[in-house]
Amino acid sequence: PGMPRVVVVAEGERRLVGLDLRTGEARWTWAARHSGTFRMRRAGRLLIVTSGDAAGTALDLATGERVWRY
């Protein structure tokens, strides 16, 4: 309950797209700094992503905005 109805898919090696499950429309896109294999884990309303470098990035699932990068 209260979670955005979004599925996240990779578009190539540097880009993620959040698709609305009801309409199939793209809600947001996010581009990684380096290309590589995406590893993702959901933590509440955040999507934790790593790809191609040692940094981890947290994205808001509803908007795709970067919340933090470590």
Query: What pLDDT digit, counting tens, does each position of 8-60 carry?
Result: 999 998 999 999 999 999 999 999 988 889 999 999 999 999 998 889 999 99
CB 58 within 8 A of CB 46: yes
Q: Is the pLDDT of residue 4 over 80?
A: no
Strand arrangement of the beta sheet that strand 46-50 belongs to: 39-43, 46-50, 57-60, 66-69
- What per-residue confidence (pLDDT) applies to 52? 82
The pLDDT assigned to 3 comes to 74
**Is pLDDT above 70 for 1?**
no
Angle CA 33–36–40, to nearest 5: 90
Report the alpha-carbon distance of residue 47 to residue 59 in Å, rounded.
5
Beta bridge partners of 48: 41, 58
